[in-house]
Chains A and B, each alone.
Chain A
């Protein structure tokens, strides 16, 4: 009989580290007379861990060392634009003039912040071609929900109540159908054609007077610019629908092509992708929404605006306004201001030419990787790509090797794996987005690793199946996690008494 042993913790939890009586932060003694506490409303027990400050610092520092980030290595996670996050962004966002202002202060006391928001809106408008921008949405998916609600509101405001269908290509990110569903729309999936574009025939079949709109990602999630984009938008418009653009892939387009010029009516930006704000281990992001003039009245407010024009020496007075037919706010306050400050800093540093250069080099890097990997991996939609491309992580002669195995083996070389199993239309997808901030040396090393892995897949596949080997953790048991469902730890009974 094998004896049961509890799994070995690599790093204990803060609960494991707790010792009654310790404390890591203290506050001054009250400098005012004490009031009576409301006895019947008080809690009896507060079962939080107790640690000294040094324990907390070491614990979280050690945890950080178990992470791979852009700062520690190449992170070609497709669709996520893991570019370098400039350190200056962090410094600037922490300036007291930004970090220590309250969202409900009178506008006269926050003219810098409002001016910065206004300027950010102007920059985003110039880059995308839209007439108006709201900075309120908190992330990409939140921007999608906002955009879909705007589309609904537009149709309803025209007395057009029949429009209940949203068309979504099969290559779309899961947030697209989920966002449309939250707005009560019926979702219809549109297939992609053999070149990875929206299938025009399939689209045409659904273009009738029940069409609310179409959600399109361009470049699409194969990393390809949809060759039919103009026609797609025309078809939807002719049927009275509107086109929503998922702006996750804007990093391919700055200074190269403006989404509004193709007929996309409303689009979100991901400041945490295109505009270098850090991803934070899963947020915070920021998902501003841009719209054409006819949709501007529906944007969520408040929006930064000039409320009194500049006069002579006097600068303009900035304020916050609500568009007249606004769908209403989508969160509290004005958006992720701290993220917006970082994005603005980035745009200011790049300027017109730098933005274009960023997109050009993002496309250059992706095509370089694609060119060098083409012989060893199958690229199902093989043409000049934009900022990313998708290849298959499988070979017919070694059917047991999967994209997941390749991904895990890549970790042994110090690389973060590409996005796996998305888009769904490619078998065993490996979606690779190098971004512009990576050097040729890094890309070459990544190629060498993938070439070696392709060879290993054929000569010693067990190395892949058992990877990773050089990381602090081996493969984790996801089935066990879902079956046993341990979602919290607690203090031992004795300690919390």
Chain B
């Protein structure tokens, strides 16, 4: 399969090499287990494979077939057809890291434009070319802050309202180091000021989420000031779609902005590949991990782009690199760049508002049902925590009978929240769907 060799080619090539048979190429390999039987099935044609995969795909129920209010870090949004049309161009998706700029200007300029739009959106000076996802972007922010203070400040303050997967990833990344991670023990209801109270002169970084895991939107200006007063850095993790509407973290003093870029035109795809956003202030650019594209000129006087500041990176600096990252999320960054170019300043504001209004309509309708109330009373964007009369797990299970994906069961984050459902509403949810959800909730909470 996929081999262009004819018998004659093979023979001529073996002869040129000076061996008789294919096996001769391996005769000097050590070990006594060569050419093992793998116990795998025989291959199949494209036609058969397609049918097989079609069958597997159909064994899944999609968010489009159901009515979905599931979010919690991955969202069902509309991606304009142009996004996938551009991503499907072989010139983009079959290239690799643009090490040879003369024949990679497409990728390089697209990343440069991505960096620019992320900087515009977050209110920061610079963005890198991407991290794997939101979780690893946060872990890299922790890493960067630790190294910024040369390991002298050991405390990392993590908001309890940071996505639990991100918090867990930070713990995994730092498990063999002497970081001290604090903050997660604070009550979920707590206002940002409670985080401020644990910042001290040993704090390297404060990490908060905007909107937070529970959908709430806080202005972090005071928290940022508190961090800066102690000489610490503050990282704000964002949903970039929300920034179509909300004040960018650059305005309230963030030093680092990380984000999960999936809402920018990237399909749910059962959790990946997504897009880790990472932006910072110019003064920290040399501390930032990941690829960076910079503008320059070529030998003919044309404007062009190259990978730059690579002395931060593993292929030059090896064990002293800012991170081990190599392959990142190039094509997903391209998706975000095309998405943002298409929507532009007005389209992004429009879709962000649509999310906001739909979520607020749903919240108002549900909160009017007996036994239901909003778990928190902070402003929210397109997601909110709902306290239910029954355990959230039970509600979700019953909603499945209505073909509704009800939301994320917050009991999985904390036993205290076992009656809480995290509900996401996007532009994909019509009023009809929301009304259907509301009436289903009324029914399932009755019996």
Contact = CB atoms under 8 A, between A and B. Distances in A.
Given A42-B247, A64-B86, A338-B267, A349 B297 contact: no
B343 A102 contact: no
A281 B107 contact: yes
B305 to A, nearest CB: 8
Given A10-B304, A43-B246, A60 B285 contact: no
Given A60-B86, A141-B324, A371 B16 contact: yes
A284 to B, nearest CB: 3
A47 B104 CA distance: 27
A141 B271 contact: no
A228 B28 CA distance: 12
Given A100-B268, A333-B272, A184 B176 contact: yes
B50 interface: yes
A97 B59 contact: yes
Contact of B30 (A7, A11, A111, A230): A230
B417 interface: no
A334 interface: yes
Chain A, interface SS category: loop
A306 interface: no
Contacts of B74: 102-104, 333
B190 interface: no
Interface string A103-132: 111101111110110000001001101000
A327 B93 contact: no
B125 A23 contact: no
- Counting contact residues on chain B (CB < 8 A from A), the size range is 35 or more
B414 interface: no
A354 interface: yes
B224 to A, nearest CB: 15
B415 interface: no
Contacts of B53: 92, 95, 341, 344-345, 348
Interface string A1-37: 0000111111101110010001111111011111101
A8 B301 contact: yes
A63 B106 contact: yes
B107 A284 contact: no
A56 B46 contact: no
B269 A337 contact: yes
A243 interface: no
A134 interface: no
A428 to B, nearest CB: 16
Contacts of A339: 272-273
Nearest to B29: A225
A24 B300 CA distance: 33
B187 interface: no
B88 A182 contact: no
Given A98-B57, A338-B267, A48 B348 contact: yes
Contacts of A485: 285, 294, 308-309
A90 interface: yes
A243 B168 CA distance: 26
Nearest to A231: B30
A38 B133 contact: no
B135 A332 contact: yes
A27 B101 CA distance: 37
A138 B1 contact: no
A354 B53 CA distance: 19
A111 B241 CA distance: 30
B232 interface: no
Contacts of A153: 175
B296 A355 contact: no
Interface in A77-112: 77, 80, 82-86, 88, 90-106, 108-112
Interface in A352-369: 352-358, 360-361, 363-365, 367-368
A65 B95 CA distance: 12
Given A24-B341, A328-B169, A341-B53, A112 B323 contact: no
A492 interface: no
A256 interface: yes
B133 A138 contact: yes
Given A90-B88, A408-B102, A60 B96 contact: no
A331 B139 CA distance: 9
Nearest to A33: B361
B35 A255 contact: yes
Contact of A279 (B44, B94, B103, B112): B94
B106 A64 contact: yes
A400 interface: no
Contacts of B136: 138, 142, 330-331
Given A69-B90, A98-B270, 11 more contacts: A10-B303, A27-B350, A46-B349, A69-B91, A96-B57, A97-B54, A102-B270, A139-B327, A284-B331, A439-B4, A473-B105
